[in-house]
Homo-oligomer: A and B are copies of this chain.
């Protein structure tokens, strides 16, 4: 893949990592960063994540990466509706973004909603990592009028960064991510909120891993959970039923029911380890 000008709107952890990876892999001759936070823009430029800073997406850009928070994506897509280049976003929700655009105008054919299943509890360009997408799953949720050219260009770009492409509907994506990502964050935030400082010396590796995602960017996660609250609420219901069943079994000493539930969880997690590590 050989791009002339890659435009990255939002040079934080994801945008910065895209810039760094694209540069290291020689995918784009020039990388232009559009970033409202002047300090982030400067840092990204000084540290070679991008080649130059601009106020607007250049006319000649041949691929546009929207790496802004999910609730800002629709504004940018509307603003860039007449730009001829393929556009993708990296938001953790897909349906609400598409709906927010469709409420204002037909969704432009060059816009392909994307989501790399990869991230970190860190944020900002300082945390950018050129290997962040190597081996990760990239979900694309093409719409009825998404152009074949946009799908081809975006797919090739992500594959060049090392990602594997999975195609889903926006609704299936949002339901799956509510279960696998948004719900764990919700639970970890709620859990961590009631841990007291005097508890900390009494914690081990299990606690550390279980709570790691609670250190994630609060503003970003408020927005994601708020946008996807419908699917999140359904995932929460499923989980709550399991929790209630396990708690009832513990209280009643119903070992058959409780142990069956724990064993199913452990078996599933052990099997997953082969795929996750």
Given the known interface contacts A119-B206, A209-B212, A213-B209, the answer about A263 and B181 at a Cβ–Cβ threshold of 8 Å is: no
CB distance A213 to B215 under 8 Å? no
Let me know if A169 is at the binding interface, CB within 8 A: no
Q: Does A258 belong to the interface (CB within 8 Å)?
A: yes
Query: Contacts A233-B251, A250-B229, A259-B218 known; A191 to B202 CB distance under 8 Å?
Result: no
In the complex, whether A207 has a CB less than 8 A from a CB of chain B is yes
Nearest-neighbor residue (CB-CB) of A208 within chain B: B276
Contact between B270 and A202, CB atoms less than 8 A apart? no
Contact A183 B189 (CB under 8 A): no
Instruction: Tell which of B139, B194, B266 touches A189, judged by Cβ atoms closer than 8 Å.
Output: B266
Complex Cα distance A192/B267, Å? 10
Assign chain A's interface to a size class. Answer: 35 or more
A-B contact pairs, 24 of them (CB 8 A): A118-B205, A120-B205, A173-B202, A179-B195, A181-B206, A184-B206, A186-B246, A187-B191, A188-B265, A189-B265, A191-B239, A193-B268, A194-B235, A197-B268, A200-B272, A203-B272, A203-B276, A211-B269, A218-B259, A218-B266, A219-B259, A221-B262, A226-B258, A229-B250
Chain A interface (Cβ < 8 Å from any Cβ of B)? 117-121, 136-137, 139, 166, 173, 176-177, 179-181, 183-219, 221-222, 225-226, 229, 232-233, 235-236, 238-239, 241-243, 246-247, 250-251, 253, 255, 258-259, 261-266, 268-270, 272-273, 275-277
Given contacts A176-B198, A209-B213, 17 further A-B contacts (CB under 8 A): A166-B202, A181-B204, A184-B206, A184-B211, A185-B206, A188-B265, A190-B261, A192-B266, A192-B268, A194-B241, A194-B242, A195-B268, A203-B272, A206-B213, A212-B269, A215-B270, A226-B255
